[in-house]
Structure 1
Amino acid sequence: MRTKAIVIKKQQANEYDQIVTLYSEDYGTMRAMARGVCKPTSVQSMHLELLNTVEFEVIHGKSMPIISSAVMSHQHLNIKESLPKLVAVQFFTEVLDKIAFENEKDAHLWEFLNTMLVDFDDVSSDGILPLFRKHQAGFLKVLGYAPQIERCVVCSTDPMVGTERMIALSTELGGVMCADCFLAGGQGVLLEKNDLNSLIGTSLAPATKHSTLDTFFEYTVGRKISSLGFLYQVIK
């Protein structure tokens, strides 16, 4: 079996072998064993670096497929040489590793990941956070977790109607609540109406740290996302 993939995670299996998690064009998320990749003489080690785009072939193994050959097509060196870029991209691979099912092909997700890597490879240092927010919103849409924002998830009214400055985002219900439903006992995270655009990637305001998007992703994943905290430490 031969396909193209992006290396998103590596785990040590023993002294010389690694379990490699890849997102492939034809099979979605898959895990395979890279035999001897940690040996000093290994030819495959440079091809199977994190975030590399590779063409690889696997053969059947006892517990999981074994990578028999791998040839790198893109290294994305600008990402790897910039800590803020690297950590920003690791957010997406961390989320993907936690929620994606194995062996489910998704052409839209494959296209998103490739575009995201190219964009971060090319972006300047002052554009990292705005680009990160843009791709967070796009990632939610591709994954099918984008929140319902056109109407209140409780009463179906337009949450933008009215003079109230605040609305609430319910991660549990998957969308926004109008002020009336929130005050009537609904549970959610309060945010200003102007912040709603950040959830769909159309905000014209300067990107800031600790966005509502982060809260929504962590609820979706069901735990804290470690790369987020690290990103805000290293990004300017």
Structure 2
Amino acid sequence: MVIKVTGIILKEYVVGESDKFITLFTKELGKIQVGAPRAKKFDKGMASGTELFVYGEFVMTQFKHTYKLVGVEPQFTFHHLREDLMTLSYASYIAEFISEVAIEGSGNEQLLSLMLYTLHSLEKMGSEACERIRRTFEMRALGVLGFRPELDHCISCGTPTPQNPDKRYALYPAEGGIICEACKGAARVLTMSYTTWYVLHYILGAPFKTLFHFEIKPYVLKEIGNVCDTLVTYYIEKPFKTLEFIKSLENLA
């Protein structure tokens, strides 16, 4: 059976002299593994169409749960991501994150759209915006995956969260949201400023088209980073190899 799917390449593997295997994240089928015979050696179009980050329509034959690529119609290649090592590293982290959370056989159009907007932002804004784009992606991805933190009410007693520019807020990661002073007790919490609380609201609710179009002060980015690190570790439970490489690059800078 011949099928057509829309998706993006998360991984590529060369097998032997000419064959490839690719990991696709598709709108229709979620994450799938696809064989691409002779893609590397004999077909230039197929070779370029089976590179990391290529987004487009993929035509395949399907036999049970086995897929064989027969054609690619690329729409975006994100070629400029490769012009800067730091930007490429962050883009690779986004692909690794998606590969970890994507479900085989179950599409997630929102997550696919988020990845595309994230890669476009990395390509357009460059290395100086990488950390902000990464944290924005992580927080919104958690929301898309059903792990949105509760910011508007205390997760223990339900009291509405007061909006006070002079207040610091306590996030209780183990319960997934803000906890008020009366309920906090000895719970291990992360604290954040009102500005950080406000920016998290924006990230979780903004349309994808405007999601990355904001600037924040370094202390806010640091606080958002602490929240993301804690929640990603708690919910995803996966060490990411690309983050280790990014840290090594930052140490060299």
Give the TM-score band, short-chain normalised.
0.7 to 0.9
Q: Cα deviation per residue 1:10-43 (whole Å; 9 max; x = unaligned)?
A: 34566654432112233332222222334x3343
* Amino acid of the structure 2 residue aligned with 1:193: S
Q: Distance in 2 between matches of 1:63 and 1:46?
A: 25
Q: Which residue of the partner structure matches residue 127 of structure 1?
A: 129
Q: Is the 8 A contact 1:85 1:128 kept in 2?
A: yes
Q: Which residue of the partner structure matches residue 92 of structure 1?
A: 94
Deviation at residue 115 of structure 1 after TM alignment: 1.7
Structure with higher helix content: 2
Instruction: Output the TM-score relative to the length of structure 2.
Output: 0.77
Q: Cα deviation per residue 1:60-117 (whole Å; 9 max; x = unaligned)?
A: 2465211122233321122122222222222222222112212223332232222222
Q: Is the 8 A contact 2:15 2:21 kept in 1?
A: yes
Instruction: For residue 103 of structure 2, give the secondary structure of its aligned residue in structure 1.
Output: coil
Q: Distance in 1 between matches of 2:122 and 2:96?
A: 16
Instruction: Output the TM-score relative to the length of structure 1.
Output: 0.82
Q: Please, which runs of 5 or more residues in structure 2 have no aligned partner?
A: 204-214
Residues 1:63 and 1:45: Cα distance change in structure 2 (over 3 Å): same
Q: Distance in 2 between matches of 1:90 and 1:158?
A: 39
Structure 1 vs Structure 2: percent identity of aligned residues?
20
Q: Distance in 2 between matches of 1:143 and 1:2?
A: 25
Instruction: For residue 156 of structure 2, give the secondary structure of its aligned residue in structure 1.
Output: coil
Q: Distance in 1 between matches of 2:52 and 2:77?
A: 9
Residue 214 (structure 1) aligned to one of 229, 241, 244: 229
Name which of structure 1's ranges 50-59 and 28-37 shifts more when overlaid on structure 2: 28-37
Deviation at residue 199 of structure 1 after TM alignment: 3.5
Q: Which residue of the partner structure matches residue 3 of structure 1?
A: 5
Q: Is the 8 A contact 2:30 2:107 kept in 1?
A: yes
Residues 1:161 and 1:110: Cα distance change in structure 2 (over 3 Å): closer
Q: Which residue of the partner structure matches residue 136 of structure 1?
A: 138
Q: Which residue of the partner structure matches residue 116 of structure 1?
A: 118
Say if 2:239 is the partner of 1:224.
yes
How is 1:57-76 mapped onto 2 (pairs within 5 angstroms)? 57-61=59-63, 64-76=66-78
Say if 2:194 is the partner of 1:179.
no
Q: Which residue of the partner structure matches residue 145 of structure 1?
A: 147
Instruction: For residue 103 of structure 1, give the secondary structure of its aligned residue in structure 2.
Output: coil
Deviation at residue 175 of structure 1 after TM alignment: 1.5
Q: Which residue of the partner structure matches residue 205 of structure 1?
A: 217
Q: How many residues of Structure 1 are paired with residues of Structure 2 in the alignment?
A: 233
Q: Distance in 1 between matches of 2:173 and 2:35?
A: 37
Q: Is the 8 A contact 1:198 1:212 kept in 2?
A: no
Q: Which residue of the partner structure matches residue 33 of structure 2?
A: 31
How is 1:154-165 mapped onto 2 (pairs within 5 angstroms)? 154-160=156-162
Q: Which residue of the partner structure matches residue 41 of structure 1?
A: 42
